[in-house]
Each structure stands twice: as structure tokens, then as C-alpha cells.
Amino acid sequence: MSTATQQAPEVLADPAQYRPGRAITDWRPEDPSFWQSTGKRVATRNLWIAVPALLVAFVVWQVWSITATNLKDVGFGFSQSQLFWLTAIPGVTGGTARIFYTFLGPMVGQRRFTALSTLVLIVPLLWLGFAVQDPGTSYGTMVAIAALCGIGGANFSSSLANIGFFYPKQEKGNATGINGGLGNLGVSVVQLLTPILITSSVLAIGAGQKKANGSEIYLQNAAFVWVPVVVVLAAVAWFGQNDLKVASTPFSQQKIIFRRKHNWLMTWLYVGTFGSFIGFAAALPLLIKTTFPAYSVATYAWMGPALGALARWAGGWIADKLGGARVTILSFAGMAASIIGVINFLPTGSDSGSFHGFFLCFLAAFFFSGVGNGSTFRQIPVIFRGVHLKGLAEGTPQYAAALKQAEIESGAVTGFTAGIAAYGFFFIPAMFANFAVTSAMWGFVGFYASCVVVAWWFYARPGAEAPS
């Protein structure tokens, strides 16, 4: 009797709905039988289509971090401050668009939203490719292009929120760690490949640009080469992913997160982890070029974001085993210590500083920020399940309704926190553009200390109100 009752829903489900390109109406990842027979296979397919689409979205978002370092070399008369602003502006539009994408993603569906939000990235790529070929392009035009590139960063919120719905509680940290971590690798990909791509005349569409030393580069390659990749990935998402109808949620049900205290607390923590990761990734190339000009941006800049992206994957996995709050506290302590190290190795007065010490400490900061990115995203679903299911008996209608609401809210909070944290992409380069580097760094250390206090008091200490 019990076995027949448990299997009945699976017998009634239409197997065709789980094929690529279909909308799914029956989705029960917490049911072990369903997960092993059907759910895991479908979720894995959707995840591994989402990863490269998100990676390329990050490429578009971060393309200015390297493009800006080459503009003066080919005749653009922008000041150092203006170049820092060009690397910062995508953070504003990316963070703002993430907030909208958070709520649009579940409303539209994983398949359709991934395909459409990927395809639209063609617009800033084409515009950038043509604009960099003319040194007379106005600064205002460059600002507009940088702003449009920011929409690539918005894809993160919809992708993470949607993928989270596919997985059971015990695998959410690992799944979002894979999606977010490998997606974050787009930052390293653009910083590693762009210096190579812009020197290739074979790939060039249009004329090259002369540098002061007489060599020729093709800045347009940094944009044009990704256009066919975007088209292919959009098509793969459209025909290969699924829309989860059970995760389709109107804004009226999602907006309740703005009244949830833990939405704002986790946003504070994620600003510290992801905000640091993406802000440092945007600022580091110019920071190396202006602080240690003898060292190659192309050689070093990509390493930190790569380490941070991979550490995110590890952070999600470790948090599934040890608890998210503990790992989050460790990440902030490590980030604070790393930035203090960076400060000590910066040039001061007659002291030329130490590039290798500076760079190794920055690598450590990226590593700990990546770990924290994974652990905070593991905390969110655990916190909201705990809050909503407290005192309810499993198997009751009240439990089922509370579980669904917890899933809705944790998905919305995941996207919203990611949206606000993306402003780190803007604020960190902007701080370097307007304040002494050392002063900005000490500000980060103070912020990380506040994050340790928040994570310990609300989520890690004995008797915490929402252990996670």
C-alpha cells in the first residue's frame, strides 16, 4: 500500500515532458525514487547547458576590464580615471538588470529565458567591435557600450535562481557552485584570451590599430569572436533545456522577500564575497598596469578570477558537508587577512613594494571570495527552509505549501542578493579611481569584519536564530 501510494504520481506523470525543449509540470526532486529515475538526468542536462551560456555572459560583462587597458595604446585620448570608469560602468547596469532578471527568470522559464538573454548579448558585442576601430569614437559612446555590456552580468541571477529549482536540498550547494563557479570562469577566459585574440590578424574583421611601438592589434576581435558562440549557445538552450512550470512564479509571490530580514542579511554577506570577487576582477588589470607597470597584465590578471571561480565550486561542496555559515566566516577572515597582505606589499614613498607579494595576496583574496560565494548560496535555501518548515510535520498539506514557498523565496533571494552584490563590479574600480588604493583596501577590511559578525551572530553561534 505504502509503496503503491509513493509510486502513483510517477506512473501518472507524462514521460514526454522530460525531453529537451519541453515544459515540465511534475517535478519532485526531494522524492528519492523520482530523482534517481528521472530528475537527476534532466537536472544534469539543464545544468550543463546553463554553464557555458553563463560563462559567455560573464565574458561580455567583463570584456571592458581588458579592452580598457589597450585604448590609450591605440590612440584613444581617455584619462586614467575615465578608463577606470569604463571598467566600472558595466557593474551598474549588470547589478540593476540582475534585480529584474531575478524575478523574470522564474516567470518566463529556464529554457526560454536562457536562450533569449544569451542571444541579446550580440548587440553590445557588435557595437563594441565597430567602435574600437575608430580612435575618434566619443567617450559618451564608449560609456553607452560599456553599459550595454553590463546586461551580460544579469544572466547570473536568472540562471542561478532557475537551476536551484531543479535540485534537491542536499545537492543545491554543489549544483549552484558548479553553475556559478564555472560561469564565473568567463572572467578569466576573457582576461586570458583577449590579449591573444587581439593580436590575431586571421580572426580580424576590419582594419587593425597601430600602437606607439609600431605593432598592430585588432581590438575588435575581443568582441566579434564571441558573436557566433552566443548564437550557438542560445540555440542549444532553446532546444535542449526545459521550463519548469512548477517553478513558474508571479512577481506577487516573489516580492515578499523584501519583508524578509534574512534576505537583507544574506545580501550583505554576498556583497562581501561576490562583490569583492567581481570588483577585484574588474579592477585588477588596471591596478597592475598603474601600480606595477613593469609586469604584464596579460600574464597575471586572469589567474585570480580563475582561482576564485573554481574555489566557488569547492565552497559550495564544502558547505554542503560542514555547514554554510562556518565556511562563510572562514572566507571573510581569509579575505581580510589577504587584503592586509596586499596593503603591506604596495609601493609607498621610496619603497617600490613587492609585486609577487602583492599578487600572491590578491590570489588568496580571490580564493577566499570564491569559497564564500559557494557557501553563501548554500546558506540561502537552508535558511528559508528552516524558517518556513519550523514546527510543521512532514507529509502534511501545510508542510508541502511551506516547502514550496521556501523554494520560491530562496530562488528570489538568490537572484536578488546576486543583483546587489554585482554593484561591487562598479564600486571597487570606482573607489580605486577616486581614492588612494591603500585607503580603499582598509575600507574592504573593515567591511569584511562586519560580515564575520553578521554571519556568526545570525547563522553560526550556538542558539543562532537561523543555523545554516
Q: Over the stretch 13-23, which tens digit does the pLDDT of each residue have?
A: 578 888 998 98
The reported pLDDT for the residue numbered 8 is 43
Query: Left (φ > 0), alpha (ψ -120 to 50) or beta: where does 251 sit?
Result: alpha
- Report the pLDDT value the prediction gives residue 260, as an integer from 0 to 100: 94
Residue position matching grid coordinates 549544483: 175
CB 158 within 8 A of CB 99: no
- On the question of pLDDT at 40 being above 90, the answer is yes
Q: At what angle do helices 424-434 and 261-291 cross, to 10 degrees?
A: 40
Picking from 248, 233, 241, the residue whose alpha carbon sits closest to that of residue 103 is: 248
Confidence (pLDDT) at 214: 77
Q: What is the domain range of residue 427?
A: 27-460
* Residue 45 predicted with pLDDT over 80: yes
**Given this model, what pLDDT does residue 9 score?**
45
300, 188 in Cβ contact below 8 A? no
pLDDT band at 220 (very low <50, low <70, confident <90, very high): very high
* pTM (predicted TM-score): 0.77
Return the higher-pLDDT residue of 396 and 156.
Answer: 396
Please give the full DSSP string across 306-327, using - where no structure is assigned: HHHHHHHHHHHHHHHHH-HHHH
DSSP state of 23: E
Confirm if 365 and 335 have CB atoms less than 8 A apart.
Answer: yes
Residue 185's pLDDT band, with cuts at 50, 70 and 90, is: confident
> Stretch 287-296: mean pLDDT, rounded?
90
Least confident piece of the model among 16-25, 187-196, 203-212: 203-212
Classify residue 21: in a domain, yes or no: no
Q: What angle do CA 407, 177, 273 make, to 5 degrees?
A: 95
- Residue 7 is predicted with a pLDDT of 42
The pairing of beta strand 209-210 with beta strand 23-24? unpaired
- 3-state DSSP percent of the chain in helix, strand and coil, to 5: 80, 0, 20
Residue 407 is predicted with a pLDDT of 81
Which residues have a Cβ under 8 Å from the Cβ of 30 and sit 6 or more positions away? 168, 169, 403
- Number of helices followed by number of strands (H, E) in the chain: 20, 4
Close Cβ partners of 205 (under 8 Å, ≥ 6 residues apart): 129, 220, 224
Residue 375 pLDDT: 93
pLDDT exceeds cutoff 50 at 3 = no
What is the distance between the alpha carbons of residues 177 and 381, in angstroms, rounded to a whole number? 13
Closest listed residue to residue 118, CA positions, set 165, 164, 55, 190: 55
Q: Which helix (H) or strand (E) holds 37?
A: none
Judged against a pLDDT cut of 90, whether residue 290 lies above it is answered with no
Q: What angle do CA 467, 268, 442 make, to 5 degrees?
A: 120
H-run or E-run covering 47: helix 40-71
User: What would the DSSP string read from start to end of 253-289?
Assistant: HHGGGGG-HHHHHHHHHHHHHHHHHHHHHHHHHHHHH
Helix (H, G, I), strand (E, B) or coil at 351: strand
- 6 within some domain: no
More confident residue, 401 or 228: 228
* Range from 241-255, 262-276, 306-320, 334-348 carrying the lowest mean pLDDT: 241-255
Neighbours of 144 (CB within 10 A): 15
298 within domain boundaries: yes
Task: Confirm whether 370 is domain-assigned.
Answer: yes
The contacts of residue 278 (CB under 8 Å, 6+ apart) are 91, 153, 187, 421, 422, 424, 425
Asked whether residue 5 is assigned to any structural domain, the reply reads no
- 92-141 per-position pLDDT tens digit: 898 888 888 877 777 777 788 899 999 999 999 999 999 999 999 999 99
Mean pLDDT of 324-348: 96
d(CA 255, CA 155): 19
pLDDT confidence bin for 162, thresholds 50/70/90 = confident
For 24, the grid coordinates are 515540465
Q: Across residues 25-32, what is the average pLDDT?
A: 88
Considering its fold, how many domains does the chain have in total?
1
- Establish how many alpha carbons lie within 13 A of residue 417's alpha carbon, considering only the half-sphere containing its beta carbon: 31
Percentage with pLDDT > 70 across the chain: 96
pLDDT of 459 reads 96
Q: CA-to-CA distance for 25 and 7, rounded, in angstroms?
A: 17
Average of per-residue pLDDT across 285-290 = 87
Q: What is the CATH number of the domain that holds 358?
A: 1.20.1250.20
Are the C-beta atoms of 155 and 94 separated by less than 8 Å? Answer: no
| Residue 287 counted as domain residue | yes
Whether 229 maps to a domain, the answer reads yes
In this structure, of 157-171, 216-230, 327-341, 379-393, the range with the lowest mean pLDDT score is 157-171
Q: What is the dihedral of CA 60, 62, 68, 73, to 10 degrees?
A: -70
pLDDT band of 427, cuts 50, 70, 90 = confident
53-67 tens-digit pLDDT: 999 999 999 898 888
Cell numbers 509540470 label which residue?
A: 25
Can you read off the three cell numbers belonging to residue 453?
559578525
Contacts of residue 195, defined as CB under 8 A and 6 or more positions apart, other chains included, come to: 66, 297, 298
Residue 282 belongs to a domain: yes
Would you state the pLDDT for residue 405?
87
Task: Look at residue 13 in the predicted model and tell me its pLDDT.
Answer: 58
φ, ψ of residue 26 to 5 degrees: the values are -120, 105
* pLDDT value of residue 431: 84
Tell me the three state secondary structure of residue 293: coil
pLDDT the model gives residue 458: 96
Residue that wins the pLDDT comparison between 5 and 34: 34
Query: In the structure grid, which three cell numbers stand for residue 78, read together?
Result: 581617455
CA dist., res. 220 & res. 204, Å (int): 7
- Residue 203: pLDDT band by 50, 70, 90 thresholds? confident
126-140, 145-159, 206-220 — which one is most confidently predicted on average? 126-140
